Structures are given as structure tokens and as C-alpha cells.
Amino acid sequence: MLTVPLFAQRYEQKPPEKTRILFLLDGSGSMLGTWNDGRLKIDVAKTLLGDLIDSLKVNKNLELALRVYGHQHDRRLQVCTDSKLEIGFRANNHQDLVLKLRTIQPKGTTPIAYSLEQAANDFPTADKKIRNVIIIITDGLESCDGDPCAVSLALQKKNIFLKPFVIGLGLNESYTDSFGCLGRFFDVTDVQEFRESLDEAIRQTLDKTTVSVELLDHRNNKVVKDLNVSFTNRTTGESAYDFVHYRDREGRPDSVEIDAILDYDLTVYSVPPVTLKNVNINPGKHNVIPIKIPQGTLSLTMPGYSEYGRKIPVVVRRNNGAEILNKQEFRESYQYLAGTYDLEIFTMPKTIIKGYKISAGETNTVTLAKPGVVNFILGAKGFGSLYRWNNTEQEWVYNFPYSTTQWTTAMQPGKYKLVYRADFAKGSKYTKIKEFTVTSGSTQTINVNR
């Protein structure tokens, strides 16, 4: 049996091919109202929805279902549990759906929130390979003290279904906010707009949508590449798609397919990251998303670097910030967004550079002085510390290891003080102090007993 290494496996991120659509139809008494052409709202809804369902027979990757509310009890009874799954999800049920629609007669109230809660049970077990979609058709607001927006948001966060489509029939503009928080809202005022809104909801659900992320440098040149890019679901906060940005030989970014129903934030993982909130995606089309990533390169050099005999880590933070943005090695070049940073360089002692400016499109080089070499001889186990003079202030550098009596280290140029007491010395008065100066390229021995 041939085993394919993990790095060689092909994995393409794209929306699931199979989709479930639940039509949630208003069957309340208000649907007996008329359009401007004199036809009843319910009759137009049943006809247009029936025609749409019939047209979807050709799609073999689509399952449909129908839930209706407000159609079982007279509105005077105010039955707020009047909601029923009339036809459940199954293959080739289009004719059953059309026939059931013909029997719906408006009667009761408008329990939208309760119907959404029940709709959560209408979808079979959650499957990441299937998209669950709700299209709500209504001519009125919630009338049972429920909160449809809160219910919708909670179920989206649980990945029960994607952001619903809401088609409002003959509502006034003041209702837009009430339904906009529930899902993607279409305000229709006549039969033609109703037909177009149904078609648009289906188009956004089923048509292929692609995007190219165009990363621009500080001069808006299309040259930035190879950075991680994430599309994050704004509702759930989960990463929906993760890509490493790519350009072909002609410098063109490739396109990727995404689900147009979701709302996204786009993050480009430069250092630090850049996030574009609430990205505008045009469903069923190719979208180009430009985002500016003005980067400069940070490089650190030092004559006599090898004297340290080890790698020297460099910690990079935002200027006056506590968060560590990156750790790079000395003599390693790394790209950062143009801006001001604080650098903590683990020389001996540490070198702190605050407010270092990294300019876009440039290699910004920090050059440190060549170190000197110091051989410390303590002669006996004991306790002590090393200090550096910073102008007139004494700065602690480090404490000596108790069991170490002799060692050699590279040190940055400066004035220092050694404070030490041997373990066998019984009293603070036996503390020994040595002051010395390290110059670039020097070699010296510091013996506390001389």
C-alpha cells in the first residue's frame, strides 16, 4: 500500500457542494392582505415559491424542506407555538413541497423566534460537508414576544445554519432594522421585486463566488506575497478559510472559492497582522480585495558576533507595548509593517532599543558595537551580581551561579561592577567589589582575589 506523505497530500478549501434550504413561510392572517395588483400575498407567495422549487429539480446537490407558521390556529387565539415542519428534507421531494404549498391557508399569529428555534431541529445532524440555509418569507414582525434576532444569532454561532435570508413582503422601511439583524434582508414592495428577491437569495446560495486578495506594498505595487491570509466568520469568530497567499510567474494572485452567505473579516498575517473588517463580497462573481501591507526589513549585525558562541535572540514589540510581536535571531532578516518598534536584544547585557523606526521598502539595519571578552575568576563558590553603569545609575545585569567559580563570556562595551561574597566568608563585610571597563575587541581577566 502506497502511503502519501502529509506534505504531498492535496487539500483544497472550498464551500461544501451539498446544500439544504429550509423555506420558512409566514402563514399568519396578515398574509391575506393584497398586493397593489389585487392578488393576495399568500397566493403570490405560494405561486412564486412553487415555481422556484420546481425549477430547482435539476440541482442534485440540493435538498429542500418547508416549515410554515401561523396557519393552524385562528389569530384570535394567539397560539405562539403555531409552527410546523410540513415537508422535511429528503431527495426528490419537490412535487410534495409544491402540493403542500397549495393547501396552506393563513389564519394565526407570527411566532418567528419560536419557528427559528424549531427549525434548528429540522436540519439533520450537523455536517461540515453540507450547508444549512434558511429563507424566511414574511409580511410582519414577531408577535409573540420572542427575539428572532437573538435566536438567529445563537443558532448561527452553534453552526446550525448560515445567516438567513429574509424576504419582507410589503413592509415599510422602519422594519429594515428589525429584520436586518436577523439575516440578509430584502424589502419587496411588489410581485416583481418578490420574484427577483427569491431568485437573488438562491443565486447567493448556489452560485460560485471567488476572491483574489491583492496585497499591495507602500507604493500600491502588486508585489507582496507568501503571507498567511484568513477569512474569519464574523458571527462565530471561527476561521472559515486559511490560505498562504500565492502569485503566479506573472505576479497575479490566484483566486479561491468561498461561501458568499457568510460575513467575513479578512486578516493578513504580516507582523503585526492587518485586518480588514466586514469585507464586501459580491455573491456569484469574482471579487478582488485590495489590502495595503507596507513592509520594511529589519536586519541586525555586529562585528565579532562569533565571540558569543551562541545565537542571540531578538524580541520585537510595538513601541511602548507589552505584547511580543516576533522573536528573530541576530543576523536574521525579517519583514515588519512600517512603524515604530521596541527591540530587546539578548547580548550580555541585554541591549534595549526603544522607538526604532522601520521604513517601508527599505532594509533597516541595526549595528551593535563589537563585544569584548571577559574571563571571570571567583576562586570559590559564593554569591554575587554583575552591574553596569548607565550614566550615573547602576543597572543590575545578572546574578552569578552559586556553583560556578570561573567562566568566560562576551560582553558589550561599557563600565561594570562585580559584587561578590564567597560562601565561606561569614559576614557581609567580606563582600568584594571589582570595577572594570569592557571595550570593543578587548580581552581581560577579572579575578576577585587580586
Of 314, 350, 341, which Cα lies nearest the Cα of 329? 314
Compute the distance between CA of residue 33 and CA of residue 45 in angstroms, rounded to an integer.
Answer: 12
Residue 244 backbone dihedrals phi, psi, to 5 degrees: -100, 120
Compute the distance between CA of residue 266 and CA of residue 287 in angstroms, rounded to an integer.
Answer: 13
Of 42, 18, 38, which Cα lies nearest the Cα of 30? 42
For domain 372-447, say whether CATH 3.40.640.10 is its number. no
**Domain ranges across the chain:** 18-206, 209-292, 295-367, 372-447
Compute the distance between CA of residue 101 and CA of residue 15 in angstroms, rounded to an integer.
Answer: 30
Could you please state the CATH topology (level 3) that the domain comprising 18-206 is classified under: Rossmann fold (3.40.50)
Let me know how long the chain is.
450
Could you please state the CATH topology (level 3) that the domain comprising 295-367 is classified under: Immunoglobulin-like (2.60.40)
Of 73, 148, 70, which Cα lies nearest the Cα of 113? 148
Which string of DSSP letters, residue by residue, matches 71-89? -SS-GGG--TT-EEEEEEE
Q: Are the C-beta atoms of residues 333 and 350 closer than 8 Å to each other? A: no
Task: State the cell numbers at 278.
Answer: 466586514
Tens digit of pLDDT at every position of the chain (450 positions) = 444 444 434 456 888 889 999 999 999 999 999 998 899 999 999 999 999 999 999 999 999 999 999 999 998 999 999 999 999 999 999 999 999 999 999 999 999 999 999 999 999 877 778 999 999 999 988 899 899 999 999 999 998 999 999 999 987 666 777 788 888 999 898 999 999 999 999 999 999 999 999 999 999 999 999 999 999 999 999 999 999 999 999 999 999 999 999 999 999 999 999 999 999 999 999 999 999 999 999 999 999 889 998 899 999 999 999 999 999 999 899 999 999 999 999 999 999 999 999 999 999 999 999 999 999 999 899 999 999 998 889 999 999 999 899 999 999 999 999 999 999 999 999 999 999 999 999 999 999 988
Which class does domain 209-292 fall in?
mainly beta
Strand order in the sheet with 295-301: 334-337, 295-301, 363-367
| Shared fold status for 295-367 and 372-447 | yes
Compute the distance between CA of residue 236 and CA of residue 159 in angstroms, rounded to an integer.
Answer: 8
